[in-house]
Structure 1
């Protein structure tokens, strides 16, 4: 279920990255950024490298600048994937089902603070818990999946909230033909708004694990960020 692309271009983790802070929320340490007075929140579910990835925190800060309270939980409890180690062993210890349960706890904590509308975005590993959240109207109002992993068509048959899927042309884990399969399932459910886009010339992980000196890679990541933000602006409202 995993492959080399899942772990390529590992970030240099930095617990001090970002302008936000780390607090306990719903039983998990979480990077939070933006106004705590906002009643609109966005949850970002990381890839296997976890919540200390600088690019992920940079995205969180940018989303927060648009008026959202943004939360990036540490779903791995201080044990993100370490480049070069066994992905299968790590995934056995860090299943997406646990991520889904933890995400529900974080969302409950947000709602207890008066948050009225919540969106969630999942990167790679994080896409599976976000899809599971999207299968009910009890948790979130909109979802975005970016280079998702560990998903099948069945995951989309029960989706109940607006969902966007951003895929990569060169993704070996979830290639365009699989993304198109997901789109066909969503298109058969007329009551669910959806958006699907395949980004040309990029591979798995392009939205957060890119070379800052590669202008084209940076532009593709920025375009994905803007698509995600636009989806939340459209669907996460007071």
Structure 2
């Protein structure tokens, strides 16, 4: 299990964005919440290794305008990685074993699900970027009540991970991720396979839709918007209105 080399060596973009949502504490976790609090459809967002980057906050706001109650938990807090950590194999290995492990984050996901339920949300989907993709496939395997998940330029995906999913999965790899054809094919026996989809962004790099995307570059902004459109379409098909 390893990160793509681009993940371990490419710094985040220094982006600025004025959020339209709000910060609040949920289950003891600092979160960014966006969209309509009256929405019956909800999305839990798992950021990449760089934490609460402006790009992922902006993405939450975009999804919020599409009719979702969106919550972005600060899962890593002070354990988010930084530019200074790039290229340090030991740091990334320790991250996977500790702060970035499913064991360290499972209860946080459950807390977000409980928040959604208490808020009146009837169907909840999850999205993960980079390392967050690993968390999403684990959540789809172990947690009840999730209607689907999407993994965007995912890292750490191992053979057999997708086969454990118990809800529809959208896979959006970049050119820096492995060929997931065989792994995705393990979903074919699932009753929900018709709702699963994989679209490769082979003209984009790892992180283009997260902290490494420079959305002031028109080509990158367009492809990020293409990915967001696929997310909206997917969750529109698996969540109730």
Contact 2:4 2:155 in 1 (8 A): no
Q: 1:110 aligns with which of 81, 99, 116?
A: 116
Question: Higher relative CO (CA 8 A, sep ≥ 6), structure 1 or 2?
Answer: 2
Q: Does 1:155 align with 2:158?
A: no
The runs of 5 or more residues in structure 1 that have no matched partner are none
Comparing 66-75 with 35-44, greater Cα deviation is found at 35-44
TM-score, with structure 1 as normaliser? 0.89
Classify 1:94/1:222 alpha carbon distance in 2 versus 1 (closer, same or farther; 3 Å).
same
| Alpha-carbon separation, structure 2, partners of 1:219 and 1:191 | 30
CA RMSD in angstroms comes to 2.0
TM-superposition CA deviations, 1:116-172 (whole Å, max 9, x none): 11011000111112112212572311111101111113112221111100011x21x
Q: Please list, as runs of the form range in 1=range in 2, the aligned pairs for 1:127-206 lying within 5 A after superposition.
A: 127-135=133-141, 138-168=144-174, 170-171=175-176, 174-175=177-178, 177=179, 179-192=180-193, 193-206=195-208
Contact 1:39 1:114 in 2 (8 A): yes
Classify 1:18/1:138 alpha carbon distance in 2 versus 1 (closer, same or farther; 3 Å).
same
| Alpha-carbon separation, structure 1, partners of 2:158 and 2:95 | 21
| Alpha-carbon separation, structure 1, partners of 2:122 and 2:216 | 39
Q: Please list, as runs of the form range in 1=range in 2, the aligned pairs for 1:27-66 lying within 5 A after superposition.
A: 27-50=28-51, 52-66=52-66
Across the two proteins, how many residue pairs are aligned to each other? 231
TM-score, with structure 2 as normaliser? 0.88
Classify 1:75/1:84 alpha carbon distance in 2 versus 1 (closer, same or farther; 3 Å).
same
The runs of 5 or more residues in structure 2 that have no matched partner are 86-90
| Alpha-carbon separation, structure 1, partners of 2:143 and 2:95 | 31
